[in-house]
Amino acid sequence: MRSDIGASPAAAHAVQGSLKPLPRVRNIIAIGSGKGGVGKSTTAVNLALALAADGARVGVLDADVYGPSVPMMLGLSGRPDSPDGKSIVPMRAHGIEAMSIGLLVEQDTPMIWRGPMATSALTQLLNETLWGGDDGLDYLIVDLPPGTGDIQLTLAQKIPVAGAIIVTTPQDVATLDARKALKMFQKVDVAVLGLIENMAQHVCSNCGHVEHLFGQGGGERMAEQYGVPLLGSLPLEAGIREQGDAGTPVVAAQPDSAAAQAYRETARRLVEELAKRPRASMPISASLL
């Protein structure tokens, strides 16, 4: 049974500028960060699984064409099918759909591409993938590369985004870069739904002592400064990394764990914030309503 978070189907919300939601995707949610190493891809994948666990139809698009990690995190291998030589059937894992350039090339093949080639690959992956079958997707989580470069600009100009989320860690150097990502989305009229503070605290597995290895409160201070919600503070746990490396993210592998519950609460906050946004002005497709 689908819960309230994944009411069937989820409403399509307004996107930036004159763009319209895609026919097969009601809401595109971009996951960005100002710098690498903050756990953005891990957060994106576990958020997608958390949304699906609450009944939504969810997909993940790996937009980091230079360093795709979603296939490994979801335990995907092989090549996706193409029924007509043009469109692509997304692969499935743990109840969600996924597409990545990493599924179309050999694992150790470097993408030695200039910006226009990378952005062209992103738009092709998005538009040529048969997302959601007959029912479409409620949410497509787009895992962006770090920074504010060509991929992000293409996303803002050509891809209808219902909202963006910024992932940071608590330390000042990370929030400094995260501010740039947040301001970029604001400048291009993409709604920022909130911040996620990753690696916020570590609980010792032996004694239970809580340590803030990367500082404390950076995400909360940044959220207050820019007037956006702090959607969640996620823990720093070895199990999160281990499960991602094994292709079974913690939300799927250990759904009752404290870490999985933190992702699920964060996903619910995401949906709550998206629900405050205006609805799309026109139905995305009569067949998907």
pLDDT digits (tens, 9 = 90+) for 32-70: 987 777 889 999 999 999 999 999 999 999 998 888 999
pLDDT tens digit sequence for 123-178: 999 999 999 988 999 999 999 988 778 888 888 889 999 999 999 888 766 677 88
Please check whether residue 182 lies inside any domain of the structure: yes
Residue pLDDT, tens place only, 231-259: 999 888 878 888 999 999 999 999 999 99
Query: Domain tally for the chain?
Result: 1
Residue 285 in domain = no
Q: What is the CA radius of gyration of the chain?
A: 18
Q: Which residue has the higher pLDDT, 226 or 109?
A: 226
Spatial CB neighbours of 268, under 8 Å, sequence gap ≥ 6 = 5, 54
Q: Would 283 be classed as within a structural domain?
A: no
pLDDT-derived band at 2, boundaries 50, 70, 90: very low
Task: State the CB neighbour count (10 A cutoff) for residue 139.
Answer: 27
Helix (H) or strand (E) holding 61: strand 58-62
- Asked, for residue 162, whether it belongs to a domain, the answer is yes
Residue that has been written with the tokens 């909202």 in this structure: 163
Identify the CATH number of the domain in which residue 146 sits.
Answer: 3.40.50.300
Residues 223 and 143: their CA atoms lie apart, in Å, by 21
Q: Say what the alpha-carbon torsion angle 91, 94, 95, 101 is, to the nearest 10 degrees.
A: -30
- Residue 7 inside a domain? The answer is no
**Domain membership flag for residue 1:** no
The per-residue pLDDT for range 256-281, each reduced to its tens digit, is 999 999 999 999 999 999 999 999 97
What mean pLDDT do residues 215-229 have? 78
User: Which structural domain range is residue 111 located in?
Assistant: 28-276
pTM of the model: 0.89
Residue 5 lies in a domain: no
Asked if residue 220 is part of any domain, the answer here is yes
